[in-house]
Structure 1
Amino acid sequence: MGCTSCSTGKDGQPRGCKNNGTCGSDGCNKLTVFDWLSNMALPNGQKPFDCVEVRFKNSRKAFFRNTENLSLSIGDVVATEASPGHDVGIVTLTGELVKVQMKHKKVSLDSDEIKKIYRKASQRDVEIWSASRNKEAEVQKRARELAIRLGLEMKISDVEFQGDGSKATFYYTAEGRVDFRQLIKDMAKAFNIRIEMRQIGYRQEAARLGGVGSCGRELCCSTWLTDFRSVSTAAARYQQLSLNPQKLAGQCGKLKCCLNFELDAYLDALKSFPKADTKVMTAKGKAVCQKIDIFKGWMWFAYEGEWMNWYKLKTSHVHEILELNAKNEPVPSLEEYASELEEDTKIDFENVVGQDSLTRFDRPKRKKSRRKNQGRGGQQATKGQRGKSKGNRPQKESSGATKDQQQKQQKGGGNQKKRRPNKNQRRNKARQQGDKNE
């Protein structure tokens, strides 16, 4: 993944900045926020907001107070307060927009829990931070081996080192409660660092690791989605989706978060529909709803016992029938209100790019037959007539031919083929040439 300024290389690494997703423009980071107030100057006499937003590994962000009045901008690497030691992160947002983000995250502006920024990261801080990040894959593999040896039912999905390398946070997922006290002792002995275990859900795991969904785009939880709302199968029922768990589940194994995106539009459209389990009374008998089209406003009904014959009705007609049924006045039949089921679904394909017809292989090939010339009366022309027609054609006069040759050609009736001399004529001609040579 790479931003537009640096693009993507062969192995998925940013080609320009080589920072593996932590570029200075902050365009290829997760959950970025566009600072639309960056070009606007503050009124006279107003001081800039003293808090900034700092991003750490993956989607973890926090707010820090700039007590040293450092000139910070988006993309600066800073050393922040941590317990114990210090951590290293990248500034993702500054200015008045941070105040809006803190209100959105429900963080008090005057809270004492907001930690401070020590300084801009030096070259030494960046080297230690990079060395710690490079050890995370090896440490994660070793930690999984220790968990399997102890027989713990847990999955260590991610490891995050602190900026100074003195502490490591292990993120894991588990179905129930796990006793990992012995695991912490073994890992502290193997890695010689401070260990912190943090359990996360399956949705948070997918957000940290990232991936590509069934739609072909990156996961919403890893790019822009921050709040995880509960998703139920009722959302799929309202949208008339097949209740197939393999299609409704995302990368995390839970129901897809995108099922809630269009749910409100479906619920608003369903307000004008009668209940799906309502029955319509007619003189022919009861009719039951079989199918509905939410956005076109159609409903299909079938008589009890005649389930194969469906009648398409508008919602306005269904409400009219229900009003008559409430007055104990059944309608004669559904055929009076039903619309035609046969619709013109023929699609006209246009030859936009200059290609042949799409059905060119469906047509049988015609046999090639020689067309014979026919006369005016429709009878077949004879050989003489064809010869006469050939002789009547205008001839082109050659510029190099003499008048005598042209007259001979006209008397001969056109261009005639020269006859090949026979064997006796060729012998006599050869003898004449021999006599001349002597």
Structure 2
Amino acid sequence: MMTEEKENIENIYVVGIRLRSLKVYYFSTTDPNLKVGDVVIVKTVQGVEAGKVVIPPFVPSENFEPPSPLKPILRKATEEDLQKIKEYREKEKEILQFAQEKAKILGLPMKMLACEINFDYSKITIHFASEERVDFRELVKELAGQYKTRIELHQVGVRDEVRYLGGIGICGREVCCHLYLQDFESISVKMAKEQGLALNPLKISGICGRLMCCLSYEYKTYQEIKASLPPKGTVVETKQGKGIVVDHHVPLNKLVVEFDEERRELISLDEVEKIYKKEDKEGEKDKVLEKILKMLEEEED
């Protein structure tokens, strides 16, 4: 009996499934042959849904801890399932248009963005944007009467609006939130400063009008590399003489060293022969820097 249970456990694989929300959820399966791109039918807290395999089946390690308890995949989508999904996608367009027209008739300031029909038709979810709070109870009644199922309206913010509609970013590519981002991170101007980017709102804002999500991609790397380099204001000694660190060139892992007012050089850390540490006490001048500046003044005289 114990042997059978052990064999059953060993035959369980974990697979990553992306649902309509773009989020990836883990499910269990006994089929090791599922491939990335395969469509599967799963049961979630929202009902029965169709999803796509994005992480192929793997045997979980002892340390593997999924965010939520694993549920089994119901089945790999059949030809009938795929046809049903195709029909639902067409119906979703019809529902979205109907909802928009009804909202206009009811005088509701709503912009319909996306519609999702559960695979088992237990629920229809409509995502919309609005600059104000909307009382959509009457609209829900109209939609429920028309489509004979549970209706859920979900108001989203400006970043989600772009996520559902898509668009081209200033980089010339499809916006990340529409392609693959699962969640929105908190983005701050500090991230742009840390990476030495010009603080021009037009250059660091996405088409949603908020700071670009990609500002967070290399932020931690910049922090780590800068932490390994002498900070700005540090006096360093090189073969070219003594100078002051005025900036960091993180992609090259180098220092921008100023030797005089007209000459700045890119210096790698292994070219630095000696580092004079700054005094970090607030209000006190850097004595070493003061000494170097005095020496430079004397040389000019």
How high is the TM-score relative to the length of structure 1?
A: 0.49
In the alignment, structure 1 residue 47 sits paired with structure 2 residue 47: no
**1:108 positional shift:** 3.8
Aligned counterparts of 1:82 and 1:195: Cα–Cα separation in 2: 17
**1:151 positional shift:** 3.8
Residue among 15, 18, 41 paired with 1:79: 41
Aligned counterparts of 1:224 and 1:122: Cα–Cα separation in 2: 26
Aligned counterparts of 1:101 and 1:221: Cα–Cα separation in 2: 30
Aligned counterparts of 1:253 and 1:159: Cα–Cα separation in 2: 24
Which has the larger helix fraction? 2
Aligned counterparts of 1:164 and 1:64: Cα–Cα separation in 2: 19
**Structure 2 stretches of 5 or more lacking a match?**
1-6, 235-243, 268-274, 280-284
Residue among 84, 108, 111 paired with 1:128: 84
1:206 corresponding residue in structure 2? 162
Deviations 1:149-201 (A, max 9, x none): 43444432111112234421112234554332222112223333321123444
Q: Is the 8 A contact 2:33 2:57 kept in 1?
A: no
Aligned counterparts of 1:100 and 1:325: Cα–Cα separation in 2: 55
SS in 1 for 2:286: helix
Q: 1:272 to 1:52 in 2, by over 3 A?
A: closer
Residue among 48, 51, 54 paired with 1:89: 51
Q: Is the 8 A contact 2:194 2:219 kept in 1?
A: yes
Q: 1:150 to 1:333 in 2, by over 3 A?
A: farther
Aligned counterparts of 1:137 and 1:101: Cα–Cα separation in 2: 43
Residue among 214, 219, 226 paired with 1:269: 226
Q: Is the 8 A contact 1:298 1:312 kept in 2?
A: no
The 5 A counterparts of 1:139-154 are 139-154=95-110
**1:249 positional shift:** 0.9
Deviations 1:343-370 (A, max 9, x none): xxxxxxxxxxxxxxxxxxxxxxxxxxxx
Q: Is the 8 A contact 1:52 1:93 kept in 2?
A: yes
In the alignment, structure 1 residue 168 sits paired with structure 2 residue 124: yes
Residue among 186, 189, 208 paired with 1:233: 189
**1:129 positional shift:** 2.4
Q: 1:311 to 1:319 in 2, by over 3 A?
A: farther
Deviations 1:53-90 (A, max 9, x none): 33333624434444xx5676225444333678743334
SS in 1 for 2:128: strand
**1:205 positional shift:** 4.0
Q: Counterpart of 1:89 in structure 2: which amino acid?
A: G
How many residues in Structure 1 have an aligned counterpart in Structure 2? 266
Deviations 1:352-392 (A, max 9, x none): xxxxxxxxxxxxxxxxxxxxxxxxxxxxxxxxxxxxxxxxx
Q: Is the 8 A contact 1:132 1:165 kept in 2?
A: no
Q: 1:128 to 1:101 in 2, by over 3 A?
A: farther
SS in 2 for 1:197: strand
Aligned counterparts of 1:100 and 1:155: Cα–Cα separation in 2: 47
2:202 corresponding residue in structure 1? 246
SS in 1 for 2:114: strand
1:180 corresponding residue in structure 2? 136
Deviations 1:408-429 (A, max 9, x none): xxxxxxxxxxxxxxxxxxxxxx
Aligned counterparts of 1:172 and 1:130: Cα–Cα separation in 2: 22
1:56 corresponding residue in structure 2? 19
Aligned counterparts of 1:262 and 1:331: Cα–Cα separation in 2: 39
SS in 2 for 1:172: strand
1:323 corresponding residue in structure 2? 287
**1:331 positional shift:** 0.7
Which has the larger strand fraction? 2
Aligned counterparts of 1:62 and 1:330: Cα–Cα separation in 2: 60
**1:206 positional shift:** 3.4
Q: Counterpart of 1:269 in structure 2: which amino acid?
A: K
Q: 1:83 to 1:322 in 2, by over 3 A?
A: closer
Q: Which structure's CA Rg is the greater one? A: 1
Q: Is the 8 A contact 1:53 1:98 kept in 2?
A: no
The 5 A counterparts of 1:271-290 are 272-274=230-232
Q: Is the 8 A contact 1:129 1:164 kept in 2?
A: no
Higher relative contact order (CA 8 A, sep 6+): 2
Identity of aligned residues (%): 33
**1:255 positional shift:** 0.8
The 5 A counterparts of 1:311-390 are 311-312=262-263, 322-324=286-288, 331=294, 333=296, 336=299
